[in-house]
A and B are shown apart, each in its own frame.
Chain A
Amino acid sequence: MASEAIPGGPAAEPQHGRRLVIAWAVLSAAAVPLVVLVIGPHIPPGSLSAESHDQHEINILLAALATPVLLGIWTSLIYVVTAFRLRGDAIVDGPPLRGQPGLQILWVVATAVVVLSLAVLGTAELLGSSKGAGGGQGPDPLAVPKGAKSALQVQVIGQQWAWTFRYPGYGGVETPQLSLPAGRLVELHVTSLDVSHSFWAIQLGVKADAIPGSDNVAFVTAHHTGSFEIRCAELCGLWHGHMHNTGAVMTPAAFTTWIRGQQVENAPATKTLPPYSKHYFPEPYRRAG
């Protein structure tokens, strides 16, 4: 098999490594501000609530961190396939490099540092600054925002195939619409009556699975009035895709008016409901058939 002598040192070969690093640094320096300043503001889920704003920011941060990595590998791939292609028809072997230990150690250390700082960052964000970040935290949340004692409690009940919402602070009234007051901490208790669902209030930045027999708590504070989409994010059967709804964030005064109206309107139904509980066990069901 044809083999070639090892090319005669750096004088004969251009300094590929240096060129590549410069190309990567230039591209990254151009792309990262672009990602943060131009694309960043459009990255969902927006800023309707404190939680969605936190998610929005961490998504921008992760995108900014991922960009140099993406460009690093892409630039290297493009560089090697253009600079090191086989010229001519004869097959010639390359230099028999089996691996520089120094470079390997550097790579391992660098990736480990990036990864560990990501984990620290994520944990600090989850348990510290954003207090659960709008995700379901189970019955006994570890990250509790300030003022949770006076939070507005709302129970989110998933069932095939609709969401209903129960307000234990207002006589346990149950409504098919979700309305929340702006500026007030809301404690959502998500549960299900039948199969597993997932409560996703998109612009509100809330996602919590609704599991039968369990109480899944998520916190959210809406910043200003507006509307948000509600969807089911866990496959729950035939009409899973139809399980959507629109919720509203109102001024506190409008919310009080709305919930009083709901109490009056639903008074006959409220009487027949089971007493408020963290979860409900329906009768063991037979199959739908």
Chain B
Amino acid sequence: MNGTGRPLWRRLIGQNVLSALALGIGGYALGHWVGTRITVGMDSQLGTDQNDLAIFMGFVFALLGWLIGLGFLNYPMSRLAGRPPSLREKEEAGPGRYFRLCTDHKVVGLQYFVTVLLFFLIAGLNAMFIRAELLTPNEKLWNANQYLSLVSLHGTMMLMMMSAAILGPFANYFVPIMIGARRMAFPRLESLSFWLVPPAGLILLSAIFLGGFPTGWTGYAPLANEARAGMDAYLFSFALIGLSMTIVGTNMIATVLTMRAPGMTWTRLPIFVWGVICTSILMVLAAPVLFSTLAMVALDRTADTSFFLASAGGSPFLYDNLFWFFGHPEVYILALPGFGIVLEILPVFARKPLWGYRLAVAGMVGVTLLSFMVWQHHLFVSGINSDLRPFYMLTTELISIPTGFIFLNGLGTLWRGHIRFTVPMLFSLAFFSNFLLGGLSGVFLSDVPSDVSTHGSYFVMAHFHYTIMGGLVFAFFAGIYYWLPKMTGLRFNELLAKIHFWGMFVFFNCTFAPLFAAGMLGMPRRVSIYAPRLHGINIFVSISAFLLGLSILVFLVNLVYSMVIARIPAEANPWQSRGLEFQLPTPVPVTNFERTPVIQADPYGYGEPDALPVAALSPSPATVAGAG
């Protein structure tokens, strides 16, 4: 089926990413033409040189072309035509499946990994450009529009891609394996959720050619209403990610609810899977709000609906409320999978059971519930509902109680353990140190009188970089070093990995710790000119940031060296983990399990002499009956 007999050029033709790109570009041209035709002579087009409706039509047709090129319409069209649907995508083998619609969850995991990493590097490069500008207190390197566009692209790209950084690669790959399933509940939707990500990234990057956009990742209206055409790219791409997140969340919840192997009770569920469930609940409830909000801005820009224009009966507060109703759960969409990964990794390298499993679950569920009740703390000085500020102060501070559980779980697991300082363990330990600083600075921001002095400043910026970069990105790398050898069957170079870790840990702290001070001393976010008295801090931070970038480069070198050049095979269970995913052979067979496994214990029974293996992989009829 993989057509090895045919010449290369013939194999490149078909429903794959190349056709998707071609049809996408063609679709854009067609959509833009249609949009231009139907707006001829409309009022909204007078006195402006940009046609937002045509651009949106272009994006919609481009997306349709992209999905047709990949073959997402084959199945529904066959059904509509009354023909038996082709299941060709199931039978793919060989490297070609990574460039096609493939319903194997392990292929989707690796597709996600490469894509997310690529866009992470692009967004990280933007950060380097931003720090280069901030070497001087005046505008030097970039003009105002270029600078703001860089800031906006960095923020939006990071938020978009990092929302999928752990759920995309690791949850897609490992959740079915961890719960003893052969696939996700909705494999075709799983593939769709991935194939929406590359067009979102590319469309966001197209903002560069549409004049950039000046709003940052928050896209505040009414600034978004008056921005140039790059704003359309932001709106469309972020909405696509919202759609993708909704699909991922639905699929994960359905998978964990319905596909668990016999014996996989809720208290045997690996803690990472709990993190994924909580994140998925947040995604399903929050991402549709983002989608609708962005659609409202798009309508404001194309059809003059004025949802957010105060001068025409709308309200800028409406945007703020809707955006942060999504935006605050979003930061926990970023944090919770990180909690899951580090708590999954600590027991393996401390050789002890996860300490306080139920408390950890309670912590994650508590964060999930509370994260929907805190959003107006982003608006403490905005004048909206100011009498409710004590309420939001309370809920925001309450959220540190369940977050604190995770720290107790971590310390309890390490306590009297036999700790091995492998690279995934180092990243997990650093996670706690970083997230601690992020969390404690959050206490300042949640206190209204203190927030008045720090809101909108670099203090906030340092705070969320400590939680997102120090938390999520460190957990992401912990996950990479822990699981990628299983996913690819190849081993990382340990020396380069340790250089990466120490460089990243040291320079991450050198970069962001001084920014707390810069913010308190009066440096607002998203400016390219600042008070000369802050010059020293900024030079130090910029140089640290470049070295931080260099440490990521070491990772990249390691990745290419280990996975492409050296290719040393990894053992099936390199960490002596009890986790079910490590009991399978490497590479993991297409169907994961030969027979449905029967789960006998949780994966944390280190040091328990009578602990059973996590699962019976070829269960006898007696164990099946026993598991109910």
Contacts and interface: CB of A to CB of B under 8 A. Distances in A.
A118 B317 CA distance: 28
Given A59-B444, A98-B353, A240-B527, 11 more contacts: A84-B414, A84-B417, A94-B418, A96-B353, A98-B356, A108-B405, A136-B381, A195-B223, A207-B455, A213-B310, A234-B456
A194 B412 CA distance: 54
Max chain B Cβ within 10 angstroms of own Cβ: one of A7, A94, A103: A94
A93 to B, nearest CB: 4
A56 B453 CA distance: 9
Given A70-B440, A73-B432, A84-B350, A282 B311 contact: yes
A280 to B, nearest CB: 9
Contact of A209 (B383, B385, B417): B383
B526 A241 contact: yes
A126 B452 CA distance: 10
Interface residues of A, number: 107
Contact of B401 (A58, A85, A115, A216): A115
Interface string B294-335: 000000000000100111100111000000000000000000
A139 B449 contact: no
Interface residues of B, number: 106
Given A119-B394, A196-B223, A241-B527, A214 B310 contact: yes
Interface in A204-229: 205-209, 211-217, 229
B48 interface: yes
Contact of B50 (A190, A234, A289): A289
A95 B414 CA distance: 11
Interface stretch (A22-30, A127-135, A174-182, A262-270): A127-135
Contact of B522 (A44, A56, A125): A44
A123 B607 contact: no
A280 B455 CA distance: 26
Interface in A1-27: 1, 3-4, 7, 13, 16
Contacts of B354: 98
B411 A77 contact: yes
B398 A115 contact: yes
Interface string B370-396: 000000000111111111011001100
The 9 closest A-B pairs by CB, nearest first: A213-B310, A241-B527, A233-B456, A216-B383, A93-B607, A133-B449, A138-B383, A99-B356, A94-B352
8 contacts: A52-B453, A74-B436, A85-B418, A92-B418, A138-B383, A235-B220, A281-B310, A287-B228
A92 B420 CA distance: 10
Interface in A187-209: 190, 194-196, 198, 200, 202, 205-209
B383 A94 contact: no
A69 interface: yes
Contacts of B352: 93-97
B310 A238 contact: no
A16 B412 CA distance: 13
B311 A80 contact: no
B606 interface: yes
A59 B450 contact: yes
A47 to B, nearest CB: 12
Nearest to B393: A122
A117 to B, nearest CB: 10
Interface string A61-88: 0100110011001101100110011110
Contacts of A123: 390, 393-394
Nearest to B138: A241
Given A126-B389, A135-B448, A115 B311 contact: no
Contacts of B420: 85-86, 91
A137 B379 CA distance: 11
Given A70-B437, A207-B455, A231 B414 contact: no
A272 interface: no
Given A135-B380, A135-B381, A235-B214, A205 B453 contact: yes
Contacts of A130: 449
A93 B386 contact: no
Contact of A196 (B222, B414, B528): B222
Given A86-B351, A126-B390, A97 B401 contact: no
Contact of B520 (A43, A86, A118, A138): A43
A283 B311 CA distance: 7
Interface in B423-454: 429, 432-433, 436-437, 440, 443-444, 446-453
A55 B357 contact: no
B92 interface: no
Contacts of B393: 119, 122-123, 126
Interface in A224-255: 229, 231-242
A202 B354 CA distance: 47
Nearest to B420: A86
Contacts of B380: 135
Interface string B508-552: 000000000000111011111111000000000000000000000
A148 interface: no
Contact of A138 (B223, B357, B386, B576): B386
Contacts of A139: 383
B14 interface: no
